[in-house]
């Protein structure tokens, strides 16, 4: 006789539905799907970079590419289904808070972004394959097909963030009171932090060629950072209801960047294209990311103290100064540690990672190249320019964040 412990329990349909809704906390399934897609895209891209550093030869259906495409397909299918559901099911409760486009279709703003981004990503795949077959290996991250892919990836990730943001803003307007609503609000806030951190990871990756530790004592390093990060961090900080939202976002970004670089080098990989100047036997890690969690923490404190108390122009000026000096205080010594110290040449800090196509005995592998060395005057003038750029970047970010706080569709 079968034991009662092994006998399957048949739950009533309503109870099974309630349990299914409970783990989702009333959050639509497609929102979970697009945030998962965003993670697949980031880790697929990082895997692809490490594949090129370690193996070289790839193709349309290389494993990293498949992970990236899986992210595009999942985001596109779930978001497309949501759009068709809202379009043809006129009684759907979410139709009232959806966007109408082309005079026929209804969908959330985030779902629209995800579909458009997924189409761009999948279009770039055969374009990239043709590019490789015609021109050979890429020597830069942003080749024409990669640019199409990068735009598509960022649109999908922005769509994931906006999908969560719309739910968050609608719930915040209702001021959750019940225990279930509070749990739902906490989950949505966390998902916003995760989705924003994943998009920040892609943003850093696109700028990483100009922000390696080898340039950390050059003003151009800080100029690129001023262009890329204050605009995004201030937008997310303004839109997030989390008390320490930017600390969470930057922590997610750092873990997202580091986990693949900590795991993949544990697996064997050998070059399949020549010339092989560095005969490696395992995957080579990507670079250690900028320690943005420190500027993120300080910007959180700044927003908590002054947001709504001073005008946005003054807040942007303070944010630009805080971000740039915090970044300088962290990255100047830490970049030198990563680039020159033998204690950084290990699994954790990744400083011993070196592509198979680069000479491991290069003179400037572990010291600064003369090209990146500046006098104090040159660095000071360059850093002053970066401060001005950071101010403009932060002001645009606050404007963007004000828009994001109003998104409810």
What does 183-204 look like in DSSP terms, one character per residue?
Answer: HHHHHHHHHHHHHHHHHHHHHH
Spatial distance between the Cα atoms of 183 and 185, rounded to a whole number of angstroms: 5
Phi then psi for residue 8, to 5 deg, are: -65, 140
pLDDT higher than threshold 50 for residue 19: no
pLDDT of residue 61: 77
Q: Report the mean per-residue pLDDT for the chain.
A: 84
Q: How many residues does the chain have?
A: 409
User: How far apart are alpha carbons 234 and 4 in whole angstroms?
Assistant: 57
Q: What is the pLDDT of residue 2?
A: 39
Kindly tell me if the per-residue pLDDT of 154 is higher than 60: yes
Which contacts (CB < 8 Å, 24+ apart) does range 305-314 have? Answer: 307/238, 312/395, 312/398, 312/399, 312/402, 313/395
Give yes or no for residue 5 having a pLDDT over 70: no
Query: Which has the higher per-residue pLDDT, 204 or 147?
Result: 204
Q: For residue range 120-141, what is the model confidence (pLDDT) as tens digits?
A: 888 877 766 666 666 665 545 5
Q: What is the pLDDT of residue 142?
A: 59
pLDDT score, position 8: 37
Residue 273 exposed, middle or buried by CB count within 10 Å (0-12, 13-18, 19+): middle
Contact in structure between 237 and 299 (CB atoms under 8 Å) = yes
Q: What is the pLDDT of residues 242-300, one digit of tens each?
A: 889 999 999 999 999 999 999 999 999 999 887 889 999 999 999 999 999 999 999 99
- Distance, in Å, from the CA atom of 312 to the CA atom of 316, rounded to the nearest integer, reads 6
Q: What is the pLDDT of residues 360-404, one digit of tens each?
A: 999 999 999 999 999 999 999 999 999 999 999 999 999 999 888
pLDDT at 248: 95
Answer whether residue 17 shows pLDDT above 80.
no
SS3 243: coil
Q: What is the pLDDT of residue 3?
A: 40
Among 182-186, 221-225, 305-309, 340-344, which is the least confidently predicted range? 182-186
Average pLDDT over residues 186-198: 87
Neighbour-count burial of 293, counting CB atoms closer than 10 A to its CB (0-12 exposed, 13-18 middle, 19+ buried)? buried
Q: Is 403 left (phi over 0), alpha (psi -120 to 50) or beta?
A: alpha
Q: How far apart are CA 46 and CA 64, in angstroms?
A: 8
Four-CA torsion 358, 359, 363, 367, nearest 10 degrees: 40
**Predicted TM-score (pTM) of this structure:** 0.86
pLDDT for res 4: 38
């Amino acid at each position: 006789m079968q034991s009662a412990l092994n006998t399957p329990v048949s739950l009533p349909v309503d109870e099974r539905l309630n349990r299914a809704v409970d783990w989702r906390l009333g959050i639509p399934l497609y929102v979970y799907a697009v945030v998962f897609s965003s993670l697949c895209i980031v880790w697929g891209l990082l895997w692809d970079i490490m594949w090129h550093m370690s193996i070289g030869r790839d193709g349309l259906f290389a494993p990293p590419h498949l992970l990236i495409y899986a992210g595009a397909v999942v985001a596109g299918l779930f978001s497309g289904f949501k759009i068709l559901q809202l379009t043809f099911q006129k009684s759907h409760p979410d139709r009232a808070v959806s966007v109408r486009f082309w005079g026929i279709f209804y969908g959330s703003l985030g779902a629209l972004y995800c579909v458009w981004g997924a189409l761009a990503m999948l279009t770039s795949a055969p374009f990239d394959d043709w590019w490789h077959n015609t021109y050979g290996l890429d020597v830069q991250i942003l080749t024409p097909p990669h640019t199409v892919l990068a735009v598509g990836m960022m649109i999908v990730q922005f769509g994931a963030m906006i999908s969560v943001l719309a739910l968050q803003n609608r719930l915040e307007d209702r001021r959750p009171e019940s225990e279930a609503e509070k749990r739902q609000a906490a989950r949505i806030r966390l998902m916003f932090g995760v989705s924003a951190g994943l998009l920040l990871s892609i943003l850093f990756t696109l700028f990483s060629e100009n922000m390696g530790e080898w340039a950390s004592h050059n003003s151009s390093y800080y100029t690129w950072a001023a262009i890329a990060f204050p605009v995004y961090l201030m937008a997310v900080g303004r839109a997030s209801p989390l008390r320490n939202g930017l600390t969470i976002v930057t922590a997610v970004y750092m873990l997202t960047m580091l986990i693949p670089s900590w795991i993949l080098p544990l697996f064997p990989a050998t070059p399949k294209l020549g010339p092989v100047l560095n005969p490696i036997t395992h995957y080579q890690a990507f670079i250690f990311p900028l320690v943005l969690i420190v500027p993120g923490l300080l910007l959180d404190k700044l927003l908590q103290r002054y947001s709504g108390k001073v005008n946005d122009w003054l807040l942007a000026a303070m944010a630009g100064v805080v971000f740039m000096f915090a970044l300088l205080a962290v990255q100047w010594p830490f970049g030198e540690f990563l680039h020159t110290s033998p204690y950084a040449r290990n699994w954790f800090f990744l400083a011993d990672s070196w592509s198979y196509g680069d000479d491991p005995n290069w003179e400037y592998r572990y010291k600064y190249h003369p090209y990146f060395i500046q006098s104090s005057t040159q660095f000071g003038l360059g850093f002053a320019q970066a401060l001005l750029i950071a101010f403009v970047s932060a002001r645009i970010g606050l404007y963007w964040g004000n828009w994001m706080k109003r998104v409810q569709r």
